[in-house]
Amino acid sequence: MITLGRGSVADYEAHLEACDALFPTALSERIDLHEYARKLHDRATSFELWDDDRLIGLLAAYFDTDVAFISHICVLPEAPKGSGHDLLVRLFDEAAQQGKQLIRLHVEKTNEHAISFYRKHGFIGTGLAGNDVIMEREA
């Protein structure tokens, strides 16, 4: 079951640490995990998947402009198959409820697995930002 905003900063930080090596460039090489966990906790709308008291899937997005912006998504290998899809569908529903017209994200251009996943969910590449591909889809 996907919950909204149940996790603490410590839960988010533990999740980010567990996801760290799953990205082509480790998260910890790009950001301060504690500060990012705090930012997500304090500012983002977080869709969470739990296994008992362990956060095994997290999608964090900002809804504070006319575009819903996905800041983070990571599902740990032990999460049930289809969990990433389920998190995205929940985000799509929330974006529609809030009247957003567009959903945007950035993904490392070397992260072919993630790019393929997003394409399957209707995202298209719209540009580059440094080492990231900007992807968008209608809400």
Task: Please check the confidence at residue 25 and state whether its pLDDT lies above 90.
Answer: yes
Mean pLDDT calculated for residue range 41-60: 97
Mean pLDDT calculated for residue range 73-98: 97
pLDDT at residue number 108: 97
Q: Which alpha helices (DSSP H) does 1-136 contain, by range?
A: 9-19, 27-30, 33-43, 83-97, 112-120
Mean pLDDT calculated for residue range 56-70: 97
Rg, C-alpha atoms of the chain: 14
Task: Please check the confidence at residue 132 and state whether its pLDDT lies above 90.
Answer: yes
pTM of the full predicted structure? 0.96
Task: Please check the confidence at residue 66 and state whether its pLDDT lies above 90.
Answer: yes
Task: Please check the confidence at residue 1 and state whether its pLDDT lies above 90.
Answer: no
| Count of C-beta atoms within a 10 Å radius of residue 48 | 22
